[in-house]
Amino acid sequence: MLQAKSFAVIGAGIIGAAVARELSRRYPGAQITILDKETKVAAHQTGHNSGVVHAGLYYEPGGLKARLCRRGVELITGIVAEKNIPYERCGKLVVALDPAEESRLHAIFERAQDNEVPGVELLGPEGIKSLEPNAVGKLALNSPSTAIIDYSALTLALIDDVVQAGGELRLGCTVQRIQELGSTVIVHTSTGAIQADHVVVCAGVQSDRLARSSGADAQPSVVPFFGQYFQLEEGYRSILNGLVYPVPDPKYPFLGVHLTKRVDGQMMVGPNAFLSLSRENYRGLGLNPRDLGEVLANPGFWKFAAKNAPAALREVRSVASKQFFLKQAAAYVPSLEGAKATRLTRGIRAQAMDRSGGLLDDFAIDYRPRTTHIRNAPSPGATSSMAIAEYIVDALASGAGRN
């Protein structure tokens, strides 16, 4: 059993907040300190995502993603009513437009059943119309338990629990490196050093840099990809009852354009996925020379680029042309033809990549004697956040990483 009287959690996004709360629940009386370089919580991926609570359709049965996604949904639904967090179980259709997509959709349906996703069913064209009168398709997988949420509000609620239990939130505090010294850990920050018995790093797009500066493995490295969303004009708020997604194409590393309702009732189209020129700049060109230089110096990135040239060509068209972007969405909802939309602040995905240019698909966690580094937490990371926290604290309690 881990004996600790103090913990530092680096990162005030949804995963950092969930880890801190879980530690405060498991170790009552321990000092919990959350550190973040920004002046507000949920400043990066948490505050720039789609807000979807994924049901667990796509993930390898028995894998960490599948297990933690399903558990994460349970935990989120258990807290939203208590905390009065905006949440809607709106459902999702994954729509096939041609025979090749129908075949892939059947495989997803089987995987969803293996993952015990509740209520999933396959629908033909009439079934699609019964749920989404404005949508079209040859075949669709209906996931009625898929939901939408305000993840920033959830993050604030989790951190509030930590503070109410005696923990501390330190914003505007940049962590520079972590130093393990025998039975303690020194966290070197821009506002001075702090000491803890154990540190959990939930640093998102900065996770690889902080791991390297702290003596952990250099790999995997983070390659940032941005996702652009558009908000449809006001007249399209009610064009769908829930979410409409494409069938994933194995030729492409990311999902493709879909339609997502937000908890405020607005309808979004997106995202595309393209190399970001920075890790944290969300508007305009967003160029950060250091960030871009690290990507271009990464041999794994060039291997990835060589394998994914067709995907890059598809995505660059959606980046350059809003009309092309919306036309892809109109394939699923024809009445979107000619719709107007406003560009929203983009999101940036902290995608971990290995030396060979492969994108890490599952969650990746490194355990050192007194420091735990979350190295990769892609979608459904937000959905799984509270379950990831359980998983990490369970591992710490059982002695993971300690000599």
DSSP string, 184-206: EEEEEETTEEEEESEEEE--GGG
Q: Tokens standing for 140?
A: 């669709």
Task: Inform me whether the pLDDT recorded for 251 exceeds 90.
Answer: no
Same domain as 297, residue 257: yes
Whether residue 83 is contained in a domain is answered as no
**CATH number of the domain that residue 184 is part of:** 3.50.50.60
Query: Could you read off the pLDDT of 320-337 as tens digits, one per residue?
Result: 567 878 888 999 999 998
Q: Is the pLDDT of residue 403 over 50?
A: no
What is the DSSP-derived secondary structure letter of residue 233? P
**Does 34 share its domain with 183?**
yes
Q: What is the pLDDT of residue 314?
A: 66
* Whole-number Å distance between alpha carbons of 187 and 77: 34
Q: Which of 80, 114, 144 is the last residue in one of the domains?
A: 144
Residue 77 domain-assigned (yes or no): no
- Whether 365 maps to a domain, the answer reads yes
Q: Look up the CATH number of the domain holding residue 344.
A: 3.30.9
| Residue 87 lies inside a defined structural domain of this protein | no
Please answer whether residues 200 and 366 qualify as being in contact, where contact means their C-beta atoms are separated by less than 8 angstroms: no
Tokens 């604030």 correspond to: 156
Percent with pLDDT over 70 in the chain: 95
Which pLDDT belongs to residue 296? Answer: 95
For residue 398, which amino acid is it? S
Q: Is the pLDDT of residue 200 over 80?
A: yes
Least confident of 51-55, 203-207, 313-317, 363-367: 313-317
Closest of 85, 81, 109 to residue 95, by C-alpha: 109
- Average pLDDT over every residue of 380-386: 97
Counting residues of the chain whose pLDDT is more than 90, the rounded percentage is 79
Please determine, for residue 313, whether its predicted confidence score (pLDDT) is greater than 70.
Answer: no
Q: Does residue 350 share a domain with residue 339?
A: yes
Rounded to the nearest integer, the mean pLDDT of the chain is 92
pLDDT score recorded for residue 27: 96
Number of residues that this document lists for the chain: 403
Which of 136, 129, 119, 130 is closest to 57 using CA atoms?
Answer: 119
Looking at residue 389, its pLDDT comes to: 98
8 Å CB contact between 27 and 4: yes
Give me the half-sphere count of Cα atoms (radius 13 Å) on the Cβ side of residue 229.
22
Boundary of a domain, candidates 102, 125, 144:
144
**Do 103 and 119 belong to one domain?**
yes
330 and 235, same structural domain? yes
Does position 382 have pLDDT exceeding 90, yes or no?
Answer: yes
Domain boundary among 128, 144, 160: 144
Q: What is the pTM of this model?
A: 0.94
DSSP 302-351: HHHHHHTHHHHHHHHHHHH-HHHHHHHHHTT-GGGTT--EEEPPPEEEEE
In this prediction, residues 89-99 reach a mean pLDDT of 97
Q: Please indicate, yes or no, whether residues 230 and 286 belong to a single structural domain of this protein.
A: yes
Tokens of 192: 């001075």
Number of domains forming the structure of the chain: 3
Query: Is 381 inside a domain boundary?
Result: yes
Contact 362, 63 (CB under 8 A): yes
Using the predicted structure, report yes or no on whether residue 40 has a pLDDT greater than 70. Answer: yes
Per the model's pLDDT, the better-predicted residue between 75 and 271 turns out to be: 75
Let me know whether 286 and 323 are in one domain.
Answer: yes
Decide if pLDDT at 233 tops 80.
yes
In a domain, 35, yes or no: yes
**Buried-state track 283-298, b at ≥16 Cβ within 10 A, e below 16:** eeebebeebbebbeeb
Q: Looking at residue 188, what is its pLDDT?
A: 97
Residue 22 has pLDDT above 50, yes or no: yes
Nearest to 253 by CA among 154, 387, 359: 359
Amino acid at the residue 27: Y
What mean pLDDT do residues 206-227 have?
A: 93
User: Are residue 287 and residue 243 in the same domain, yes or no?
Assistant: yes
> Does 243 share its domain with 345?
yes
- Of 279, 376, 208, nearest to 44 (Cα)? 279
CA distances from 265 to 35, 239, 294 (A): 33, 11, 39
Q: What is the mean pLDDT of residues 176-194?
A: 95
**Same domain for 107 and 17:** no
| Model confidence at 145: pLDDT above 90 | yes
In angstroms, the first-to-last Cα distance of the chain is: 13
- The domain in which residue 325 lies consists of 221-357
Of 12-21, 163-172, 210-219, which range is least confident?
A: 210-219
- The answer as to whether 239 is a domain residue is yes
Residue 252 lies in a domain: yes
**Mean pLDDT across 200-223:** 95
How confident is the model over 61-77, as a mean pLDDT?
95
- The helix or strand, by DSSP H or E, that contains position 392, with its residue range, turns out to be helix 385-397
**40 and 159 assigned to the same domain:** yes
Do residue 104 and residue 122 come from a single domain? yes
pLDDT digits (tens, 9 = 90+) for 95-105: 999 999 999 99
pLDDT tier, 8 (very low <50, low <70, confident <90, very high otherwise): very high
Contacts of 80 (CB under 8 A, 6+ apart): 87, 149, 154
